[in-house]
Every structure is written in structure tokens, then in C-alpha cells.
Amino acid sequence: MPHLTTSAVLDAPPGPVWTLLRDFAAIGSWHPVLPPAAIDDGPVDRVGAVRVSTGGHRERLIALDDTARSIRYAFEDNGGLPVRDYVSGMRVVAASTQSVVEWDARYDCDEADEDKVAAAVRDGVLLPGLAALQTRFATEGA
């Protein structure tokens, strides 16, 4: 089962970063590639809530831990990728006056698709999202 892990240092303390990331519906407001989403089946901070993108892709919130500042979600469909059992999560870690955001993804796919899927997830979702967070919090902190 492939596992990707990425991280970025943000020029902001963990509090405001976590406030943004724990809002399961907010991803479309800060991620440059992902579309806006609405919550189906519960409030944004309840495990079991489903995030539905404007394209119809569905993700279920499977863990939310305010103490550890971590959130995990699972695809309810394949998200347009040749994957199965996709689970992803983010964590905010204090680093002096800054924050480190870690974003990982685990999924199953056919061996022939591993490189293509890894590139699509890493370069098309995780890294652009982390770069957008760096920009957002550099601007807000300035």
C-alpha cells in the first residue's frame, strides 16, 4: 500500500493554522486546485461528516483530534484516480513560533499505476496545498 508524506513550515503559530484545517468544509477556500465543498451528513467537526465537492467527489471525516491537531478523511469514491481505500490526513505541529503541517496519503492501487498515482497526489494535491498554506500564512503574518 503506497504511503506519501509531505510537510511544510508555516510562518504562523499552530492555533490559526489548526483553526483553518480542522474546518472540514474549508479546503476549497485555501487549496488552489480543489473545488469548493459542502458538508453532507453532519456538522463539519463531527466524525462521519461527508465533504462533497462541486464535482460530486465524496470524502468522509474519520478522525478529528484537537489535542493532537490532526484530521483524517477517507474517499468514498475513487476521486477520479485509479485507487482503492484512500485515506489522507493532516497534522499541525508547533515549531517555536512557527508550525509544521504534515499531510500524508495512503491508498491501494494496481502496481502499474503506482508512479502515476503518486505523482498525481503529491504534485497535484499535497504540494500545491502546502504551498498555498505557506503563502496564506506568510501574508496574514506580515
Question: In angstroms, what CA-CA distances link 53 with 4, 10, 39, 49?
Answer: 23, 26, 9, 13
Beta strands (DSSP E) in 20-128 are 37-40, 50-53, 58-65, 70-75, 84-95, 98-108
Residues 51-79: pLDDT tens digits? 998 888 999 999 999 999 999 999 999 88
pLDDT tens, 107-133? 999 999 999 999 999 999 999 999 999
Nearest to 50 by CA among 71, 24, 87, 86: 24
Q: What are the tens digits of pLDDT across the range 90-113?
A: 999 999 899 999 999 999 999 999
Q: Report the side by side order of strands in the sheet with 50-53.
A: 3-10, 98-108, 84-95, 70-75, 58-65, 50-53, 37-40
Tens of pLDDT along 34-48? Answer: 988 999 888 888 999
User: In the chain, what are the domains?
Assistant: 3-18+61-141 (3.30.530.20)
pTM (2 decimals)?
0.91
